[in-house]
Amino acid sequence: MKKILLLATGGTIASRPTAAGGLAPAITSEELLACVPELADLCEVSAVQVFNLDSTNVGPAQWQSIVRCIKENYDACDGFVIARKLLEQNAKVGIILTGDMPRTAIAMEMAQRLRHLPIPVYRWMQDPQAAVQALQSTRLVVDAVFGIGFRKVLPDSLRGLFRLIHDRRIPVVAVDIPSGMNADDGHCDPDTLRAALTVTFTALKPALTMPEAAPVYGRVEVADIGMPPEIWQAYAGTPTVIDSKMVQACFSPRPEDSHKGTFGHVLAVCGSYGMAGAATLSVRGALRCGAGLVTAAIPRSIYPMVTVAQPEAVCLPLPDNDEGQRRPEARERLYPALAKATALLVGCGLGQGEEATALVLDLLERATCPMVLDADGINAVCAHIDKLKAHEAPLILTPHPGEMARLCHTTVAEVESDRIGTARRFAADNGVWVVLKGHRTIIASPNRALLVNPTGNPGMATGGSGDVLAGMIASFAAQGMAPLDAAMCAVYLHGRAGDHAAERLGQHAMLPSDLLDDLGPLLHTIENRS
């Protein structure tokens, strides 16, 4: 049964006729609920009378009191409700009350409901020894001490309790966010209660996307509590967590009369002498994700290696110099292939230098199809950000934090301290899609839409993983997916493939090429559900 908090504030709906023949707010929250007794069969309603005013008298001070009331009641009763629900599931449950008895109306109500249940309550401030003894046999701690409103340092009175839980290595499940963590910036008190699992509500909180805080929040699950996405997504900076249903919705069955031209043509301008692997992995990623044709525009010196490693690709050998870099005349050779491409991938192992930069800028100016910039393609535009704004076709950048820092002319530390804000601002300012790679990869679009990827693991932190991802994005874009969908599907499936590879081989032993082997079964599953 849904649980609803009713905040009564007065207004016309709560008015009674006055002697003068007008209306005045006078009906309390309890009286309002009594008018609709059928609600008791539909949901569990708790009511709080915030104030009782005519709407014309409601101003900023009243708005602030509503916000305070929501915060207080949102954070105050989770633990009591969870304890009661666990008892209903035949779990042995106890409560450690970390402060005084609850004072907000809804929290007091929830606490009252426990009085006649076999749930012992240990008061840490009054009898810490009893709580210590209870923890000796505890197998799981549910952290419902603080919520998203926590902003300061932990009170000294709680440090001993949190350290005890940590020292005993009792697994912790955090409600919404670990106690001691700032939900906005990820700052953690040294004694923050570290969680193995954080169950957050409705949407990821910004702190839960920050890599430096990952050891504190652990694995994250986003729980749907019935709030329509159109409400919370309206707030700037609120990301959507990618899930399998979102990815599945981007795929449809292939027509029976299909041919290779049906599924797009990726032109991959990648590779240089010594970086044949980057070109090969990106091309393999594009082919594995279903592109009808993939052309590898590579320096002539690495042609034998690439064509042997990936015979399904069409190779376009380009003139190169003694250092394995493309000559200026290579650009003319590219133009006919560019005219036929439905997606362009530039950068994986491309190399750096004046000619590489000139090539990237030339392609930016000429390309009319969706374009994916990775690695050295990104490095080439760091000093030419204005070229991004001038590019008319969809443009997807896939930087790691170091490349993002160079794009923004800042530091890696600054990027990592605000991954969501950095990606969102750069995407909006330059009219591009940004795939900021790393723990919980961020996808930002020019219209400020934000996605966060929940898949992947540390075993993927190996050179070559990004090349596979870039090829995947280009493949989906070539097949007609919108830029945000192409990035979303590629990032999610790339991470899922990495998780499967880790299960097969372990995080230490897995290679980027192993991800390609696991992509097949994942895409097969999608086909069967189409």
What CA–CA distance (Å, rounded) separates 199 from 79?
Answer: 13
* 174 shares its domain with 315: no
| CB 140 within 8 Å of CB 173 | yes
For residues 395, 398, 399 and 404, what is the CA-based torsion angle, rounded to 10 degrees? 40
Work out the average pLDDT over 150-170.
90
What CA–CA distance (Å, rounded) separates 419 from 408?
Answer: 12
* 35 shares its domain with 119: no
Structure tokens at 91: 């779990």
**φ, ψ (nearest 5 deg) of residue 395:** -130, 125
pLDDT in the model for residue 44: 64
Query: Which is it for strands 442-444 and 433-436: parallel, antiparallel or unpaired?
Result: antiparallel
What CA–CA distance (Å, rounded) separates 353 from 350?
Answer: 10
pLDDT band at 30 (very low <50, low <70, confident <90, very high): confident
- Note whether residue 460 is domain-resident: yes
pLDDT in the model for residue 505: 96
% of residues, the chain, pLDDT over 70: 88
Work out the average pLDDT over 48-71.
73
- Note whether residue 69 is domain-resident: no
* 273 shares its domain with 180: no
Q: What is the pLDDT of residues 120-135, one digit of tens each?
A: 888 888 899 998 999 9
Count CB-CB contacts under 10 A for residue 26. Answer: 13
Helix then strand then coil, % of the chain, to nearest 5: 45, 15, 35
Residue type, 82: I
Bridge partners, residue 10, by sequence: 53
Using the predicted structure, report yes or no on whether residue 354 has a pLDDT greater than 60. yes
What CA–CA distance (Å, rounded) separates 264 from 280?
Answer: 19
pLDDT in the model for residue 161: 93
362 alpha-carbon distance from chain centroid: 34
Q: Domain residues for 384?
A: 246-250+261-529
* 313 shares its domain with 189: no
**Which is higher by pLDDT, 16 or 320?**
320
- Taking the CA of residue 293 as centre, how many other CA atoms within 13 Å lie in the half-sphere pointing to its CB? 18
pLDDT band at 338 (very low <50, low <70, confident <90, very high): very high
Work out the average pLDDT over 445-468.
93
| CB 112 within 8 Å of CB 143 | no
Q: Which of 141-155, 246-260, 388-402 has the lowest mean pLDDT?
A: 141-155
Residue type, 519: L
Using the predicted structure, report yes or no on whether residue 49 has a pLDDT greater than 50. yes
Q: Give, rounded to a whole angstrom, the gap between the first and last alpha carbons of the chain.
A: 33
Among candidate residues 203, 236, 269, the one where a domain is terminated: 236
pLDDT band at 221 (very low <50, low <70, confident <90, very high): confident
% of residues, the chain, pLDDT over 90: 58
User: What b-and-e string marks burial along 259-286, b requiring 16 or more CB atoms within 10 Å of the CB?
Assistant: eeeebbbbbbbbbbbebbbbbbbbbbbb
Using the predicted structure, report yes or no on whether residue 145 has a pLDDT greater than 60. yes
* 312 shares its domain with 204: no
Query: Which is it for strands 293-299 and 121-123: parallel, antiparallel or unpaired?
Result: unpaired
* 285 shares its domain with 189: no
pLDDT in the model for residue 494: 98
| CB 431 within 8 Å of CB 244 | no
Using the predicted structure, report yes or no on whether residue 95 has a pLDDT greater than 80. yes
Closest CA to 10 of 63, 68, 49: 49
Q: Which of 83-87, 278-282, 439-443, 511-515 has the lowest mean pLDDT?
A: 83-87
- Note whether residue 435 is domain-resident: yes
User: What b-and-e string marks burial along 383-418, b requiring 16 or more CB atoms within 10 Å of the CB?
Assistant: eeeebbeebeebbbbbbbbebbbbbbeeeeeebbeb
* 353 shares its domain with 267: yes
pLDDT band at 475 (very low <50, low <70, confident <90, very high): very high
What CA–CA distance (Å, rounded) separates 466 from 457?
Answer: 14
Helix residue ranges per DSSP H, 300-449: 303-309, 330-340, 354-366, 376-381, 386-390, 401-408, 412-417, 419-430
pLDDT in the model for residue 109: 62
Burial class (CB in 10 A: 0-12, 13-18, 19+), 233: middle
**φ, ψ (nearest 5 deg) of residue 268:** -105, 105
- Note whether residue 503 is domain-resident: yes
Task: List the CATH number of the domain containing 110.
Answer: 3.40.50.10260
What CA–CA distance (Å, rounded) separates 106 from 510?
Answer: 50
Q: What is the pLDDT of residues 368-380, one digit of tens each?
A: 999 999 999 999 9
How far, in Å, are 73, 250, 356, 404, 469 from residue 398 at the CA level?
Answer: 41, 20, 18, 9, 9
Using the predicted structure, report yes or no on whether residue 236 has a pLDDT greater than 60. no
How far, in Å, are 161, 165, 199, 329, 337 from residue 169 at the CA level?
Answer: 13, 6, 19, 64, 59
Using the predicted structure, report yes or no on whether residue 238 has a pLDDT greater than 90. no
Task: List the CATH number of the domain containing 404.
Answer: 3.40.1190.20
**φ, ψ (nearest 5 deg) of residue 48:** -130, 130
Tell me what the pLDDT averaged over the chain comes to. 87
- Note whether residue 63 is domain-resident: no
* 15 shares its domain with 131: no
* 209 shares its domain with 340: no
- Note whether residue 241 is domain-resident: no
* 301 shares its domain with 397: yes
pLDDT band at 18 (very low <50, low <70, confident <90, very high): confident
What CA–CA distance (Å, rounded) separates 185 from 205?
Answer: 9
What CA–CA distance (Å, rounded) separates 194 from 217?
Answer: 6
Q: What is the pLDDT of residues 269-317, one digit of tens each?
A: 999 999 999 999 999 999 999 999 999 999 999 999 999 999 999 999 9
**Which is higher by pLDDT, 469 or 324?**
469
pLDDT in the model for residue 7: 77
pLDDT in the model for residue 1: 46
Give the strands of the sheet with 219-223, arranged side by side.
Answer: 141-143, 172-175, 197-201, 219-223
Closest CA to 426 of 475, 393, 382: 382
* 199 shares its domain with 288: no
Among candidate residues 58, 84, 100, the one where a domain is terminated: 58
- Note whether residue 70 is domain-resident: no
Q: What is the pLDDT of residues 484-529, one digit of tens each?
A: 999 999 999 999 999 999 999 999 999 999 999 999 999 999 988 8
* 187 shares its domain with 116: yes
Q: How many domains does the chain have?
A: 3
| DSSP-assigned letter for residue 482 | -
| CB 456 within 8 Å of CB 507 | no
| DSSP-assigned letter for residue 293 | E
- Note whether residue 25 is domain-resident: yes
Question: Can you give the pTM of this predicted structure?
Answer: 0.73
